[in-house]
Structure 1
Amino acid sequence: MTRKKQIIVPIVVLLLGILTFVGLASMKKPPEEKPAVDNTPIVAVEPVNVDAMHLTVGSYGIVKPKYETELIAQVNGQIVELNDAFVRGGFVSQGQLLARIDPNDYEAALIDAEANLASALASLETERAQGKVAEREWKRIHDASPTELSLRKPQLAQELARVKAAEASVLRAKRNLERTEIRAPYDAMIESREIGLGSYVGVGRNVGKLLATDIAEVRLPVADNQLEFLENHGEQSNVVLNGVFAGKEMRWNAKIVRSEGVVDNKSRMSYLVAQIEDPYALSDKNKEPLRFGSYVNAEIFGVTLAQATTVPRYLVENSRVAILDEESKLRYVDVDIVRQDGANVIISGGLHQGDRIIVSALDYPIDGMALALESDTNLEQQENEDVTNTQVASVSE
């Protein structure tokens, strides 16, 4: 009996161990299968839009009047009249009286000159009559030809000279009398006035300064390498001026009327001159005035490119741009760079409508390497999540 127990007990223990091992083995979960890792570089792209492009050249300048005039007194005298509009910032019309110098002395001088002219004319008529009498007497008394002196021709010439001198004196007196009235030579704004009512002015005294209001000008510096983008080197080009008036951003239309034709010695810039008609909007109250002395930025309209696009400058290397082709591979294409425009470059050839330009950085880019789009990767992850969620829902049911 004891011997049977010695045989049965080990067998039972062995069977229990086997059963325990089988039970534990059946409870063990199989290792999860990890998905294959895709090491394809992920990139972001932007589509290329190729279209006609109007180039512009930027510049800047100060608004100034086309004409500015310093009024100078041409006669002496006391200021006896001032126009109310003759003040700093006032607007005056062409021919409008600004100030009057005391005309009494010049009126008297004109009367005196006219009297001298009348006396000279009377003497001239008297001398002509005496000359005719002398000619008749000479013919009656002498048979020979008369001399110039006998006909009183030297005396007649002297009287003619006196008349011309008297006429010149009258003209001078009239001109001096007219100069007592200081008038505006054109439609203008008063920049300064240097006289007051009752003050005495002498010949050459500065009376004031006028700024013409019909046309304003802006000198626009342009680099030499930018002139190639302007038709006819900018002459007759349209310009848009941008500035601030009363705290608001404003725009005014202008036109290039001429080039100064020289390169500045210091800045090495060429200067184009733009003109603006009626800058103070005196004839059109709906326009905003463009004040003299204002600082403005200018956009000069240049040539038009039939097919061009703009690309960030950092995406161009050695005149090449990386694109993603139809097979999702990296390709480098040679491009024609027209100009650099700030942080961008303008390209006129090499890229086509719909090309996908790579805008994300790559560590080791190689022409022809396979790439993946960031949008496609996100879509694949979303599909995997949807499948997983569906499986979990099925197990729960």
Structure 2
Amino acid sequence: MTRKKQIIIPIIILVSGILIFMALSSMKKPPEEKPEVDNTPIVAVEPVSVGPMHLKVGSHGVVVPKYETELVAQVNGQIVELSSAFVRGGFVEKGQLLARIDPSDYEAALIDAEANLASSQASLETERAQGKVAESEWRKITDALPTELSLRKPQLAQELAHVKAAEARVLRAKRDLERTEIRAPYDAMIEMRSIGLGSYVGTGSAVGKLLGTAIAEVRLPVADNQLQFLIEEGKAASVTLKGTFAGQETQWQAQIARGEGVVDNTSRMSYLVAEIKDPYALTDSSHKPLRFGAYVNADIYGLILASATTVPRYLVENERIAILDSDSKLRYVSVDIIRQDGASLVIGGGLNQGDRLIVSALDYPVDGMALALESDKQDSEESSENSGETQVASVTAAVE
């Protein structure tokens, strides 16, 4: 009896446990179904625009005149006349009188030189006449050939030398008289004047300084590795200068006139020299004045690429860039990097017009992985919501 109890009791307990478990299981509510979550990474893209591109090299410099001249007095004397334009910042034309040194002494010297010349010329004519008389008398006396001394040829040569010396003194006196007038050698602007009315100047005394207004120059430093993007290292390249005039951003057009042909010892830069015609707009008022001493930035135009585009530098890694293909998958494409321009890269090949460039960061990008756009994600969510609303409406109608 005891043995039967030992067998039956565990069976009863086991069956009771199973029944209790089944009862509890039947009372348990089924888990709510959760909507499927789309874990596709969302990215931002920008369309690629490919087309012709004119490469340019940036530089900077200070505007200076191509010609500048230190005026000095070439004769001694007192300043008796000054032009009203001979002031700092004044504009003068070629040949315009700037100052006059007292010409009295030089006019007198010219008169004296001309008188000496006239006297020497008279002596020369007298000596020629005497030579002819001597030759005639010699022939009357004898048929022998006369000597040069008999014909007074040495005396004639001496008088001829006196005439030439007198002519030289006249030329010198005229030149000194002309030098009493200090004139502008070309169209210029007065940078400084160091004389005043009534002041005395000697030969070599500083009078003033002129800056030529016909052509201005700008020395533009260019790194050696940037010369490859210019045609013939920048020879005759077009240049756009950018600066301020009267508080406004202004541009001027210039052209590379020459290269200096050396590398600067300090900056290790090559220098190109750009020229600007009529910088002060004295003959052409279509542009604003470009003043000497102004600081300008420059764009030097070089090679023209038939097909290229610009992308941010951080998007390119190992000469590859990520794009979103037509199947909304990530694809890496190899690109041909032409040059680096600051924070951007110029791409010459590998990208096509309309390619979608991935510009947002991805944690673990893999070639071929599925991606989604924010706009596509929103459209999908709206579609799901609309579908859910339709189903709810249908169930409600069925219940009704």
- Length-normalised TM-score, structure 1: 0.90
Q: Tell me how far apart the structure 2 counterparts of residues 85 and 385 of structure 1 sit (CA, whole Å).
A: 85
The separation in 1 between residues aligned to 2:391 and 2:331, in whole angstroms, is 41
Aligned partner of 2:182 in structure 1 is 182
1 CA distance for matches of 2:342 and 2:158? 81
What letter matches 1:226 in structure 2? Answer: Q
Bigger CA drift: 320-329 or 89-98? 320-329
1:102 aligns with 2:106: no
Query: What is aligned with 2:228?
Result: 228
Structure 1 residue 29, shift from structure 2 partner: 7.2
Partner-residue secondary structure (3-state), 1:382: helix
Would you say the 8 A contact 2:216–2:275 is kept in 1? yes
Measured in 2, the distance between the counterparts of 1:202 and 1:391 equals: 110
Counterpart position of 1:6: none
Post-superposition shift, 1:38? 2.4
Q: Secondary structure at the match of 2:332?
A: strand
Amino acid at match of 2:100: R
Aligned AA (2:61):
G
Deviation at residue 140 of structure 1 after TM alignment: 1.3
3-state DSSP class of the match of 2:125? helix
Counterpart contact for 2:323–2:331, Cα < 8 Å: yes
Q: Is the 8 A contact 2:256 2:272 kept in 1?
A: yes
The one-letter amino acid paired with 1:146 is: P
Aligned length: 374
Deviations 1:86-132 (A, max 9, x none): 00000011110000000000000000000000010011011111111
- What does residue 166 of structure 1 align with? 166
Deviates more, 1:181-190 or 1:48-57: 48-57
How far 1:287 sits from its partner (Å)? 2.4
Aligned partners of 2:171 and 2:75: how far apart in 1?
15
Deviates more, 1:62-71 or 1:172-181: 62-71
Where does residue 285 of structure 2 map in the other structure? 285
SS at the partner of 1:58?
A: strand
CA distance in 2, matches of 1:389, 1:298: 63
AA aligned to 1:354 is G
Work out the CA distance in 2 between the residues paired with 1:260 and 1:235.
11
- Secondary structure at the aligned position of 2:296 is classed as strand
**Residue in 2 aligned with 1:111?**
111
Deviation at 1:370?
A: 2.0
Partner residue in 2 for 1:301: 301
Give the AA of the match of 2:349: G
SS in 2 for 1:297: strand
CA distance in 1, matches of 2:207, 2:294: 26
Identity %: 75
Measure, in 2, the Cα distance between the counterparts of 1:342 and 1:390: 55
Code of the aligned partner of 1:240 = T
Q: Which residue of 2 aligns with 1:322?
A: 322
The answer to whether the 8 Å contact 2:252/2:287 transfers is no
In the other structure, the counterpart of 1:58 is 58
Cα distance in structure 2, aligned partners of 1:175 and 1:388 = 108
Give the match for residue 203 of structure 2.
203
Q: 1:9 maps to what in 2?
A: none
Aligned to 2:70: 70
- Is 159-168 or 377-386 further displaced after alignment? 377-386
* C-alpha separation in 2, matches of 1:39 and 1:254: 58
**1:125: which partner in 2?**
125
CA RMSD of aligned residues (A): 2.0
SS state at 1:163 partner: helix
